Structure 1
Amino acid sequence: MKNRTEQVMQAIRRRIDGGAVAPGEKLPSIRGFAAAMGVSPSTVVEAYDRLAAEGVIFARRRSGFFAAHRNRPVALSELGPRLEREIDPLWVSRQSLDAGEDAPKPGCGWLPADWMPVDSLRRAIRAAGRADDGLLAYYGGTRSEVKLRRLLSRQLADQGIEAGPDRILLTASGSNAIDLVCRLLLSPGDKVLVDDPCYFNFQALFRAHRVEIIGVPYTPQGPDMEHFEAALARHKPRLYITNSALHNPTGATISAQVAHRLLTLAAAHDLIVIEDDIFAEFEPDPSPRLAAMDGLDRVIRIGSFSKTLSASVRCGYVAARPDWIEALIDLQVATNFGGPSPLAAEILHHALSDGGYRKHMEALRARLARLRRLTGARLSGMGIIPWLMPRGGFYLWCALPEGTDGAAMARAALSENVVLAPGNVFSPSQAMTSYMRFNVGQMGDPGIYDILDRAMRAAA
């Protein structure tokens, strides 16, 4: 009875949180909902009584039950399934962001500060400081810094994506770019497809938009097309988000065959695709791009500079159809009164135009290629086996020894002030218990491997 009662309670919460039942709206009758859920009326009675006690719903005599008017802040941790802290996307993000600079962070999503082109950034900051007073004091224009948009347009053209500056919008960050697109295209209760596993903050962001997340298994060539097609037919999702190149967390890259099939299915099912290409510049040479193959018709390209230049000088961008860009400009004015800081855009333009940036990226790719091999070999010797060897980037997605629970391992490592990223934090289906993502750029301290060994033994 208890499990069925909780299932009914969760179903009602989803309807209310997703907007399917508005505040003050009547809930289904006890007998009707019992039939729909395949449970007894007494189970629904208990569920309704418990939800009423929590203040989620209320009863009116002889009228039934109604959704309560809940004038309290929305807690994202209360939306979606209840997860252990070690595998909750919000909690893992907070641990990574709040850890001290000296704390080992093999589970975080950025490279060490001394790997970044800080001398180039300092020159760019000094140059921006000599700009007109308006740059230092005023809001930016609604279309944002044109010099940086022109530079991005040239970079996209090198990848086969035709997008003039008028089809590019600068945003406060890459995550902010995705958030704006979600505001434009999604309504509470909509369904979205994500890879399983996927970047964990996609799940946290979709929680905030109160949409239903549908996971599709991911393969070394991209999403599993059989499951992808079945999910489209069954769930009729509005949107799909992915990393085509150097997928987070697996490091895989979509094949041309899968990309073509994916776009054919997207067109047939009226699916919009967000291609988050934040790792593009870590590839040794360009791989298939959904945005290039689609011509930015139903594919929206997202990017930022946080992985290659600076996560402190925040700025992202959206490349999309002109009508969508116009709508996104209005949304950005409404929610942020303009785009990113014009000072940040100026600094980034200087840094990207610096002749040293190309050399920085060449050196970074070479350094990471060597570290992926060395780290993969070291982990393999411990029984932690890479799922594949990526062609670029700084992630290794690894299978843990049989019987090892990733969440328990992360818990044990955190007791020694080391932040790990266990598999289930990336998995909508919670099917990645025995996987872990490692950032090879954050594995420089030899003591990390001793801590990993102790954490594995504690989690076995």
Structure 2
Amino acid sequence: MRPQTVDADGETLIARVMATIRNRIAGRSLTPGAKLPSIRGFATSLKVSKSTVVEAYERLAAEGLIRSRPGSGFFVAAPLAPLSLAEIGPQVEREVDPLWISRQALEADGDFLKPGCGWLPAQWMPEEGLRRALRTVARASASTLVDYGPPLGLLPLRALLARRLAQHGIEASPEQIMLTESGTQAIDLLCRFLVEPGETVLVDDPCYFNFHALLRAHQAKIVGIPNTPAGPDIERFAAALEEHRPRLYITNSALHNPTGATLSPLVAHRLLKLADQAGLTIVEDDIFADFEEAPAPRLAAFDGLERVVHIGSFSKSLSAAVRCGFIAAPRQWIEPLADLKIATSFGGPGFAAELVLTLLKDGSYRKHMETVRQRLSRAMAETIGRLRALDIEPWIEPQAGMFVWCRLPDGIDAAELARRALARNIVLAPGNVFSQAQTAGNFLRFNVAQCEDERLFRELSALLRR
């Protein structure tokens, strides 16, 4: 196997040449049938050897993207893909886009470190418990294995979820709970149900970046409310209600993403009072509930599911491959939400719901989460200590969970740092991805569960010195 030439940032030069050609094809500067630059000329313009360009062209030909005509050179062979908005404009600017970062984390292979991603490492998940549950569900009736699920979802699981919600003070009957394929689908359905194009939706600033992406897909106007360690800035929240007359507010009450903060009871009460006066609906995203060490206030508990819709999911705690979430909402909303679910995805997550129910009932999930909380507590303390040694300072020290929101040393731009880290096979999460107002340019979100590799801190140290 011939050795690869490697540049100063650790990226193979061959890969860089290949990426340049792919980008030109995607950007329509090279169309089907167009001749590629000559090997000598391309090597000169990119300041690489001719052998590097030859190897890159050969690999692209093996992929079917280009073809060789002996004596004539290389030509574009692939038909044009549909034009993608993600490919318009400089790719450097795309690197701080929420969807781009999600793609990097989802597509990264095993060599990548992913401290910027939002899920637990695979080795932290209950593999044996999942396999046992799969064997159990495999013995279920044929309808469980092959049929669509009912619109509201598996009744025994909804009944169990109602009991679990009661532990947080949230009173919801099984008839007020609808299963979804994920927390993301839950928010999507609620936006379809509640938000018209052009209407204003409030989010925390910073907030989970996919809230931005979903709301843009629904053509909503997004207004960010500065977040504090106790919840949203109440004065700014009241001012936004007066100025924008929003339809919806989406937030995390417990273990806020990305900051790790927890809503205080005082802020919760003031928030609900303002929402009631303004006729505002609140979507409380509680997918990290089972990561808590001690219960935090829930808006849905104070409100009684009148103005607050509560959603959850097992993607982060159990398995991202087992797509099962839920919505707990006012009783009169459940039927129209079920109609929307049928219209957009038809059946419910029947097989996944049976699997989750099995794990919840046999005790596997409870034991798994006890272990996860202990591991996260240790990882949080160790990661914060390692980051502080690099002058990367936590905004707060979270009580639990996987996220720590950190301020970089003065003069360091998080987006630029993330761009350089990618060349070293590290996916970071720059602050402005989470900020509607773009005021978090010197912040990063770290997932402490993904920070156990010594290489991460060694590479960060090197990147910060540059």
TM-score range, shorter chain: 0.7 to 0.9
Select the residue among 454, 461, 465 that pairs with 1:453. Answer: 461
Task: Give me the whole-angstrom Cα distance separating, in 2, the residues matched to 1:354 and 1:83.
Answer: 49
Select the residue among 140, 143, 150 that pairs with 1:131. Answer: 140
Task: Give me the whole-angstrom Cα distance separating, in 1, the residues matched to 2:287 and 2:84.
Answer: 28
**1:87 match: secondary structure:** coil
Task: Give me the whole-angstrom Cα distance separating, in 2, the residues matched to 1:194 and 1:76.
Answer: 25
Asked if the contact 1:399/1:434 (under 8 Å) is kept, the reply is yes
Judging changes above 3 Å, is the alpha-carbon distance between structure 1 residues 83 and 255 closer, same or farther for their aligned structure 2 residues?
A: farther
Q: Which amino acid aligns with 2:193?
A: L
Task: Give me the whole-angstrom Cα distance separating, in 2, the residues matched to 1:361 and 1:179.
Answer: 27
1:353 and 2:361 aligned: yes
The residue aligned with 2:311 is: 302
Q: Which amino acid aligns with 2:250?
A: I
Runs of 4+ in 1 over 6 A off after TM superposition: 73-76
Post-superposition offset of 1:77: 5.3
Task: Give me the whole-angstrom Cα distance separating, in 1, the residues matched to 2:182 and 2:85.
Answer: 20
Asked if the contact 2:183/2:325 (under 8 Å) is kept, the reply is yes
Asked if the contact 1:76/1:208 (under 8 Å) is kept, the reply is no
What aligned pairs does 1:119-198 form with structure 2 within 5 A after superposition?
119-198=128-207
**2:309 match: secondary structure:** strand
The residue aligned with 1:362 is: 370
Task: Give me the whole-angstrom Cα distance separating, in 2, the residues matched to 1:386 and 1:267.
Answer: 34
Asked if the contact 1:405/1:434 (under 8 Å) is kept, the reply is yes
Select the residue among 108, 115, 131 that pairs with 1:106. Answer: 115
The 10-residue stretch of structure 1 (267-276 or 360-369) with the greater mean CA deviation from structure 2:
360-369
Cα deviation digits, residues 153-212 of structure 1 (max 9, x gap): 110011100111100000111100000000000011010000000000000000100111
What aligned pairs does 1:247-396 form with structure 2 within 5 A after superposition?
247-340=256-349, 342-396=350-404
Task: Give me the whole-angstrom Cα distance separating, in 2, the residues matched to 1:307 and 1:217.
Answer: 26
Task: Give me the whole-angstrom Cα distance separating, in 2, the residues matched to 1:99 and 1:78.
Answer: 19
Task: Give me the whole-angstrom Cα distance separating, in 1, the residues matched to 2:95 and 2:236.
Answer: 28
Asked if the contact 1:410/1:455 (under 8 Å) is kept, the reply is no
The residue aligned with 2:8 is: none
Task: Give me the whole-angstrom Cα distance separating, in 2, the residues matched to 1:285 and 1:398.
Answer: 23
Judging changes above 3 Å, is the alpha-carbon distance between structure 1 residues 332 and 202 closer, same or farther for their aligned structure 2 residues?
A: same
Post-superposition offset of 1:366: 1.3
**1:84 match: secondary structure:** helix
Task: Give me the whole-angstrom Cα distance separating, in 1, the residues matched to 2:207 and 2:95.
Answer: 16
Post-superposition offset of 1:87: 1.7
Number of residue pairs matched? 383
Task: Give me the whole-angstrom Cα distance separating, in 1, the residues matched to 2:92 and 2:243.
Answer: 26
Asked if the contact 2:379/2:452 (under 8 Å) is kept, the reply is no
The residue aligned with 1:18 is: none
The residue aligned with 2:222 is: 213
Q: Which amino acid aligns with 1:364?
A: V
Asked if the contact 1:194/1:242 (under 8 Å) is kept, the reply is yes
What aligned pairs does 1:219-258 form with structure 2 within 5 A after superposition?
219-258=228-267
Q: Percent identity?
A: 58
Judging changes above 3 Å, is the alpha-carbon distance between structure 1 residues 282 and 251 closer, same or farther for their aligned structure 2 residues?
A: same
Q: Which amino acid aligns with 1:359?
A: K
Task: Give me the whole-angstrom Cα distance separating, in 2, the residues matched to 1:205 and 1:402.
Answer: 32
Task: Give me the whole-angstrom Cα distance separating, in 2, the residues matched to 1:426 and 1:174.
Answer: 18
Post-superposition offset of 1:74: 10
Task: Give me the whole-angstrom Cα distance separating, in 1, the residues matched to 2:110 and 2:159.
Answer: 35
The residue aligned with 2:56 is: none
Q: Which amino acid aligns with 2:125?
A: M
Gaps of 5+ in 2: 1-81
Asked if the contact 1:400/1:436 (under 8 Å) is kept, the reply is yes
Select the residue among 436, 440, 445 that pairs with 1:437. Answer: 445
The residue aligned with 1:400 is: 408
Q: Which amino acid aligns with 2:376?
A: L
Post-superposition offset of 1:353: 1.4
Post-superposition offset of 1:454: 2.2
**1:273 match: secondary structure:** strand
